[in-house]
């Protein structure tokens, strides 16, 4: 092996040898990236998560604006009649459902993409991604529960956006750079929502709905379409 390379270099440094070195470099780059970057994330996850968020937000919006907030609240409110839940509880369950559906869809899509490219879904890298994502997210989740506990549910929309943004920024070093941008955007939207407190639902819809769909589509075309 060594002899072959030395010989080729000494003689004419021919094409095939140059190709061999180029291949080596490509191989190195690919391994470095594959071992440090979680690339099984699918852009479609974003599109699905965004859609769930839009539907969830629409549900809440529908009750507030179409049914009317006064008819929703209270022991004999619409939410109570339909689901047996207080309106606030309905919003909470609705948000949890969005979160659960988003996470399970993105796990499923990542699993599929990883299987297709022959990567394992549960390795030291995905463990690191998971932990780095979960620390800010769980903190945010508990923080929101405490907000409810103290009767400050108006701060939930900004808080979820900000903590989610921080989670994305934190995890972005292990995955596509787009996730960093998305994280920053979510944080900014969260801060805006904190300023315009009355429009929490609108900012929540933009942050979790619209932004996910935009970035999801963008990432899908950037990383998946050209490989397919």
Q: Which residues bind other proteins (CB under 8 A)?
A: 1-2, 5-6, 9-10, 13, 18, 21-22, 24-25, 27-28, 31-32, 34-36, 118-120, 123-125
Minimal distance, residue 176 CB to other proteins, in Å: 16
Q: Looking up tokens 């990883």, which residue turns up?
A: 114
Considering the complex, state which of residue 1 and residue 66 has its C-beta at the smaller distance from other proteins: 1
Using the CB atoms, write b or e for 182-213: b if 16+ within 10 Å: bbebbbebbebbbeeeeebbbbbbbbbbebbb
For 39, which DSSP code? Answer: -
For 120, which DSSP code? Answer: -
d(CA 168, CA 207): 13
Minimal distance, residue 2 CB to other proteins, in Å: 5
Biggest CA pair distance of the chain: 91
Minimal distance, residue 148 CB to other proteins, in Å: 39
With beta carbons less than 8 A apart as the criterion, state whether 167 and 186 touch: no
Considering the complex, state which of residue 3 and residue 195 has its C-beta at the smaller distance from other proteins: 3
Minimal distance, residue 108 CB to other proteins, in Å: 21
Considering the complex, state which of residue 31 and residue 146 has its C-beta at the smaller distance from other proteins: 31
Considering the complex, state which of residue 120 and residue 152 has its C-beta at the smaller distance from other proteins: 120
């Amino acid at each position: 092996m060594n002899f072959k390379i030395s010989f080729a270099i000494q003689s004419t440094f021919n094409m095939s040898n140059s190709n061999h070195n180029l291949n080596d470099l490509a191989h190195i780059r690919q391994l470095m990236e594959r071992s440090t970057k979680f690339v099984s994330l699918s852009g479609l996850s974003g599109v699905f998560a965004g859609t769930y968020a839009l539907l969830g937000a629409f549900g809440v919006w529908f009750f507030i604006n179409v049914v009317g907030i006064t008819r929703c609240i209270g022991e004999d409110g619409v939410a109570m009649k339909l689901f047996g839940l207080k309106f606030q509880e309905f919003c909470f369950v609705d948000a949890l459902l969005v979160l659960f559906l988003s996470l399970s869809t993105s796990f499923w899509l990542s699993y599929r993409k990883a299987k297709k490219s022959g990567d394992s879904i549960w390795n030291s890298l995905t463990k690191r991604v998971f932990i780095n994502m979960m620390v800010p997210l769980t903190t945010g989740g508990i923080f929101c529960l405490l907000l409810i506990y103290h009767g400050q549910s108006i701060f939930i929309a900004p808080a979820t956006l900000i903590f989610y943004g921080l989670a994305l920024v934190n995890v972005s070093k292990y995955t596509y750079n787009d996730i960093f941008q998305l994280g920053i955007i979510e944080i900014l939207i969260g801060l805006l929502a904190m300023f315009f407190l009355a429009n929490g639902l609108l900012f929540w819809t933009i942050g979790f709905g619209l932004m996910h769909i935009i970035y999801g589509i963008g990432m899908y075309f950037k990383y998946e379409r050209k490989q397919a």
